[in-house]
Amino acid sequence: MVTPGLFCPIPPRISPHADDAQNWLTGWLLERGVATETAERLRRSGFARYAGRLYPDATEADLRLVTALFTWFFLLDDTVDGNATPPLHSVRATVDGVFATIDSDGRHPAPGLSAPMRTMLLDSWRAITGDLSEMSVDRINDALRHHLDGILVEASNKWVGRRPGIVEYIQLRRATSAAYVSYALIEFAGAGRLRIPEAVYHHPVLREISAAGNDLLSWFNDLLSLERDEDTAAGHNLVLATARERGLARDAAIREVIGRWQDRMTRFVELRAAVPAFGARIDAAVRRYVEGVADSVRGTIDWSLESPRYPMPAVVEEWVGTQN
């Protein structure tokens, strides 16, 4: 499975509004009670450039909203995934607080969320979902719930010392990545508001494209965050799951995951070429959606390589070729 490097054939794209959105974000965070030190750390991570790579055709206003929501997701990740045995009651309280905030539109208390986290979520969520159809909002809600369920499963595993095998981990990682939330947001932040019927949205080919894209960005993240995950993930990383299940040394497991990633990329390219026709009106929206999934893969790669959030392990750096 070993290949001569990580090669991504998807061309890079980024919004012309990305840097302006990043400058805007700092003030937005401070206005919502985020501590100055935390706001500065988030600024350095460059989440607007991440959002700008995933939604390069978004308007400036839409990109700001998605950037705000992305920043909230990363703060949530820092809150619930900071150590190898997070207190399960604390993670559950945080997840319950998210549900209470979303389900009640902020009318019910959410003691598991800090005031800034609650305000950030409400302000970005209301602005995004208020401009979408009920069908699109349901898709974002479903994806968010899938993500939060994954967070709880991982936290429960860590609490009892359970380390998932490869197949189980891949399924769980598709939830904890939050990639499906970002895909649901393509309908909001794409070039115009997309309208894809339910039967088409859940077509087997589109579902497999979404899963393949999720795997690609998730496994790439696992490679880059390996050094941190060795201390905090309690086995919840594809390299660690591979090493444990197959009895491999660390570097050998890294090479196997790199090979698995490249095989998955080959399949992703094949799937993109196999999207069926649904009729001219629907095909344009489907094409933009599939391009959005591809942007999420390439955008995650490019942003991860430029962001100080992910220092790269040396053996991975040797295998990451120039992304053309």
Q: What is the pLDDT of residue 316?
A: 64
Q: How far apart are CA 5 and CA 29, in angstroms?
A: 39
Q: What is the pLDDT of residue 122?
A: 95
244-275: pLDDT as tens digits: 999 999 999 999 999 999 999 999 999 999 99
Pick left, alpha or beta for residue 33 (phi over 0 → left; psi -120 to 50 → alpha; otherwise beta). left
Q: Per-residue b/e over 145-181, b at no fewer than 16 CB within 10 Å? A: bebbebbbbbbebbeeeebbeeeebbebbbbbbbbbb
Q: What is the pLDDT of residue 324?
A: 42
| Cα angle, residue 322 at apex, residues 321 and 324 outer, rounded to 5° | 125
Beta bridge partners of 320: 6
Q: How far apart are CA 215 and CA 88, in angstroms?
A: 26
Q: How far apart are CA 110 and CA 94, in angstroms?
A: 8
Hey, what are 255's tokens?
Answer: 């090479």
3-class secondary-structure state, position 6? strand
Phi, psi of 320 (to 5 degrees): -85, 110
Residue ranges in the chain whose pLDDT is less than 70: 1-5, 191-192, 312-324
Residue 36: burial class (beta carbons within 10 Å; 0-12, 13-18, 19+) = exposed
Residue type, 242: T
Q: How far apart are CA 127 and CA 120, in angstroms?
A: 11
53-111: pLDDT as tens digits: 999 999 999 999 999 999 999 999 988 877 777 889 999 999 999 999 999 988 888 88
Hey, what are 240's tokens?
Answer: 């660690």
Hey, what are 132's tokens?
Answer: 């979408």
In sequence order, the 6+-apart residues with CB closer than 8 A to the CB of 176 are: 147, 150, 151, 154, 236
Query: Furthest-apart CA pair in the chain: how many Å?
Result: 54
Q: Taking the alpha carbons of 189, 193, 198, 199 in that order, is the dihedral positive or negative?
A: negative
Give the domains, in start order, of the chain with CATH numbers: 18-319 (1.10.600.10)
3-class secondary-structure state, position 234? coil
Q: How far apart are CA 62 and CA 21, in angstroms?
A: 10
Q: How far apart are CA 5 and CA 315, in angstroms?
A: 11
Q: What is the pLDDT of residue 322?
A: 42
Question: CB–CB of 94/76 below 8 Å?
Answer: yes
**Count of alpha carbons within 13 Å of 6, Cβ hemisphere only?**
26
